[in-house]
Amino acid sequence: MIFDLIRKRRAIFPAQYNDEPISKAEIEKILEAANWAPTHKKTEPWRFRVMTGEAKEKLGLFLSYKYMETEARPKKIKARKLIEKPKMSGAVIAICMQRDPQERIPDWEEVAATAMAVQNMWLCCTEMGIGCYWSSPGLIKYMDEFFELNEGEICLGFFYMGRYDGEVEGQTRTPIGEKVVWME
């Protein structure tokens, strides 16, 4: 049932991933789920760049280098984590948004549609037993130096994915009644 799947969805981080690979077919299925997100004016703004193998290592090195270059007082441990996190992952997907060239809808609606595509990916991963999470480090503003982004395209973050062992901790939420105002 979809409600159970929504409640099971969790952020599962690269440090929790094991070495079991994620197949290309599984990644394609996850991306197909993204493609069915709602989209106003059918702009379908989501764009993805899938990194596996050496591409993950290159991403980690780029992020670490950019961090060291741009940070006033860089920390070696953070630079090392930027290198290691992609390598610990089965795949890393760059989440990008392609702005409608005609700008028929507000920018935030394009971002929202892309976020819904990512939620579809996350739910699909949950169903498939693949751990994942969306990271949006400040370094994404430099991704046009790593990828060839199209005009009007921006990177919104990275979707880290990996297999994991064991159970995932449950979460709690404050009651929905504390967040809703009924108006009759």
Which residues contact residue 1 at a Cβ distance below 8 angstroms, ignoring those fewer than 6 apart?
none
> Residue 64 domain-assigned?
yes
Determine, yes or no, domain membership for 121: yes
The pTM (predicted TM-score) of the whole model is 0.94
Is 148 strand, coil or helix?
A: coil
Parent domain of 157: 2-179
For Cα atoms 161, 40, 108, give the angle at the middle one, nearest 5 degrees: 65
* Diameter of the chain measured on Cα atoms: 58
Q: What's the average model confidence in pLDDT over 122-139?
A: 97
Query: Which pLDDT belongs to residue 75?
Result: 97
Q: Has residue 63 been placed in a domain?
A: yes
Structural domains counted in the chain: 1
- Residue-averaged pLDDT of the chain: 96
How many Cβ atoms sit within 10 Å of the Cβ of residue 176? 7
Residue 97 is assigned to a structural domain of this protein: yes
Q: Say which CATH number the domain at 34 has.
A: 3.40.109.10
Residue 167 clears pLDDT 90, i.e. is over it: no
pLDDT of 176 strictly over 80: yes
Residue 76 domain-assigned (yes or no): yes
Q: Are 164 and 139 in contact (CB under 8 A)?
A: no
pLDDT digits (tens, 9 = 90+) for 71-117: 999 999 999 999 999 999 999 999 999 999 999 999 999 999 999 99
| pLDDT of res. 166 | 82
Look at residue 48 and tell me whether its pLDDT is greater than 90: yes
pLDDT band at 171 (very low <50, low <70, confident <90, very high): confident
Q: Output the six-digit token pair for 157.
A: 């973050």
- Residue 169, pLDDT > 90, answer no
Q: Is 64 left (phi over 0), alpha (psi -120 to 50) or beta?
A: alpha
Task: Indicate if the alpha-carbon torsion angle 127, 129, 130, 134 is positive or negative.
Answer: positive
Residue 163: the pLDDT is: 97
CA-only gyration radius of the chain, Å:
18
In a domain, 184, yes or no: no
